[in-house]
Amino acid sequence: MIDSEIVLASGSPRRSEILKQLGVKFRVVVSGEDEKPTSKKPLEFPRENACIKALSVSRQVRDAYVLGFDTLVFLDNVPLGKPKSEANALEMLCQLNNRGHVVITGVAIAYNGEIVSASEEKTEVFFRNCSLQELKDYVNSKDPMDKAGAYGIQTNGARLIKSIMAVTTTWLGCQLHVRWKCWMVYKLGYSK
């Protein structure tokens, strides 16, 4: 086991829960950094945003492995972030309704102000053909308001989904290979 602590650069309860399931001892330090990716390719935004978060916290907290995550939903290669209002959430859900889209989760691990690992995972998701009332009821539950694309598979948003082609934990903001990498960092000191 290594002496360096693990820091999660996210206030997401879903990401904290995954690390707890792994038995990782960590603390949360939320990055205050603005997520303003510079890449010309929107599909690279989640990895870049994860790096921004991890680096920001890593510069504040020395001698710690800092984990940064970011998840975005892409419809026709256009990113859908978190809804700004209930009307915006309903608009997003109507756009996704009865269609396929891609969800990308980026992850970065930083140590002493440097990125030691960064990656992303893509998931293909297909919404079933939901009625407008179903979508409104879901928006009224307030569940979509803190989730990219205005829904979460780990909550009541699962009822909107027809099929998923990937690892379920991508939806929780931390894919399986990342969970393994975090475990290796924590238990073995691995950082590549």
CB 185 within 8 A of CB 120: no
**Active-site entry in 3, 34, 63, 70:** 70
Owner of token pair 């710690």: 64
The Cβ-side half-sphere exposure at 56, using a 13 Å CA radius, reads 19
DSSP-based three-state secondary structure for 126:
strand
Q: How far apart are CA 80 and CA 148, in angstroms?
A: 6
Strand partners, 101: 125
Size (the chain), residues: 192
DSSP-based three-state secondary structure for 72:
strand
User: For this structure, is 143 an active site residue?
Assistant: no
Active-site residue set: 70
